[in-house]
Amino acid sequence: METIAPESEFNKIIENGDENKLTPMRLFFKDKSVFLTGGLGFLGQLYVEKLLRCDVKHIYLLGRPKKGKSTEERLKNTFTGSHFMKLYNHDPHYLKRVSIIEGDMGSLNMGISESDEKELIENVQIVIHAAADVRFDEKLKTLLMINLRGTREILELTMKMKQIQVFTFISTAFSHCVRTYIEEKFYDSPLDPDIMIRLGEQLNDKSTKDLEVLTERIIKPWPNTYTYTKSLTEELVRHYGNKFPICIMRPSIVISTHEDPVPAWCNNIYGLNGILVACGLGVLRLLPIKENNVGDVVCADFVINSTLAALWATHEEHEQAKASKVKVEKDPEIYNVCTSTDRPVTWGTIAESMGNLFRQYPAKRVLWKHCHNIVNNQFMFTYLTIWYHVIPGLITDLALKIGKKDLRVMPIYRKVQRFMVALSFFMKVDWRFDTTNMKRVIQKMTPEDREFFPSDVRRYSWSTFLYNYLSGLKVYIGLESLDDGEKAKAKYKRLEMLHYLVLFFYYGIHIFIFTMIALKLGVTTYLKNSLIENYEFLKNPQLEY
């Protein structure tokens, strides 16, 4: 049985090898200029941190002003924090090697200026396209313009780059989720991506509304517009496969970091992070999962390091082919970054382990006792949602309103419910992902590179990691100190007592309702007579009826 790491280990920065040693992979990235889309997001920050520690010359990020902040302000506010301390120790002036190219993935040519385009064309050797609209319920036209056409614009720009050495597209392991076993290869596209781009461009307001009505029929059997457009985009990238070296990364459900650059760092409540935060706070009590299914979740740093390893391997293979003067035309390599095959963990294990940890180390801001219930039946899920979520939420909001508090619980419930609807599909299917290509790359890496670029998910220790994961959610999402444990536990005990009191009334109401129904239907009279008959029979078995 693996032991859970002590709390003191959580803040320890794990050093992976000699920071100054030039290994084959680090030598490849050294002094390169990189164009990175999605660089201001969760994964983007980790790409920037690791690339700068590899001593790249410069990183160009695609971005735009947001929420009243200029691109320069966003740059300074984004690339600071504990996850950049390792980089700061390596290079205190790392921000001088990062700049933002103003643009928008939804616009033609990404909306970048001629001068910025010229700078990219002259200087960039590596392109990492990680930007995407990841909302599952977004309109099809929006995702066609951002995820599909936006990728085409990136590819067209890459074709102009004079020094381009390698390009990677960050897709998703669920781009072909209509299958349950997914290999590292291209599958048939649902439609021609170029036709879908033209369709999106020609839609006016009226036809866009018509498309919304037809969306479910168009994307079927894909469960949402996000995975559908990702499958189209992979086919689009395939069309450029012989123009310059390309690889495609397919990560599964991405959660916090494992250890690089710090353990369990995360900065958003999307996906599984949001569900676990809601469970930990006592807000979410129903989980529509199949507990014996494998939950393919992967730590963010394994995605980053696997991407860099695949970039290096793709470039190496291209150079070897060029040196041999043998032209081989083949599709770009695809790399699944997943855990279901090599280090599986079930949804039931995740739910049970995190549930135990929530009770042992409750959050300071916990709103109710943690108690998750696994429900697979849709009718029961809807029925229990009313009793476990809607009614408590309305009562709590009424109490908060009387107390003149600004906090409202129902908006939180609605947001959590959207999370569950979006993710429930991915929690009910038992997928397996082939990782042969990724293992081949890991095998090529030197021992030093394997340490500096940890890419092998077989080094996961789920029991140790889940403790760190909980700590990361508390520190980075909840903004709580790990030293507030005693206060949180005292609050949790009070909530626990209140929880059991409420359960008493809840079950009492249900018993009363069902008793009234039984009386109306005459069920109690039947049961009473049946019991009397059985009692008389037991007293005198010879009695005839």
| Bond before 541 cis per omega within 30 degrees | no
3-state DSSP call for residue 59? strand
Mean pLDDT of 417-440: 88
Instruction: Please tell me the predicted confidence (pLDDT) of residue 31.
Output: 97
Cα 161 from Cα 124, distance rounded (Å): 7
Mean pLDDT of 73-85: 91
What lies within 8 Å, CB to CB, of 177 at 6+ separation is: 222, 223, 227, 425, 426, 429, 431
Instruction: Please tell me the predicted confidence (pLDDT) of residue 237.
Output: 98
HEC string of 328-383 equals CCCCCEEEEECCCCCCCCEHHHHHHHHHHHHHHCCCCCCCCCCCCEECCCHHHHHH
Q: Is the pLDDT of residue 530 over 80?
A: no
Cα 49 from Cα 40, distance rounded (Å): 11
Instruction: Please tell me the predicted confidence (pLDDT) of residue 17.
Output: 44
At 462, the pLDDT band (50, 70, 90 cuts) reads confident
* In the chain, % of residues over pLDDT 90: 60
* In the chain, % of residues over pLDDT 70: 91
Cα 306 from Cα 333, distance rounded (Å): 13
At 14, the pLDDT band (50, 70, 90 cuts) reads very low
pLDDT tens track for 372-401: 888 888 888 888 888 888 888 888 888 888
Domain spans of the chain, in order of start? 19-266+295-344+431-461, 506-539
CA distance to 61, 66, 264, 545, per residue, from 36 (Å)? 5, 18, 23, 86
Instruction: Please tell me the predicted confidence (pLDDT) of residue 372.
Output: 86
Cα 120 from Cα 158, distance rounded (Å): 9
The torsion region of residue 91 among left (phi > 0), alpha (psi -120 to 50) and beta comes to: beta
pLDDT tens track for 279-329: 998 888 888 888 899 999 999 999 999 999 999 999 999 999 888 877 767
Instruction: Please tell me the predicted confidence (pLDDT) of residue 307.
Output: 98
The enclosing H or E element of 234 equals helix 225-239
DSSP conformation class of 297: E
CATH topology of domain 19-266+295-344+431-461: Rossmann fold (3.40.50)
Least-confidence region, from 52-56, 76-80, 128-132: 76-80
Question: pTM higher than 0.85 for the full model?
Answer: yes
Cα 380 from Cα 86, distance rounded (Å): 49
Q: Is the pLDDT of residue 187 over 80?
A: yes
At 406, the pLDDT band (50, 70, 90 cuts) reads confident
Q: Is the pLDDT of residue 18 over 60?
A: no
For helices 42-53 and 300-324, angle between their N-to-C axes, nearest 10 degrees:
60
Average per-residue pLDDT in the chain? 88
3-state DSSP call for residue 168? strand
What single-letter amino acid sits at 432?
Answer: R
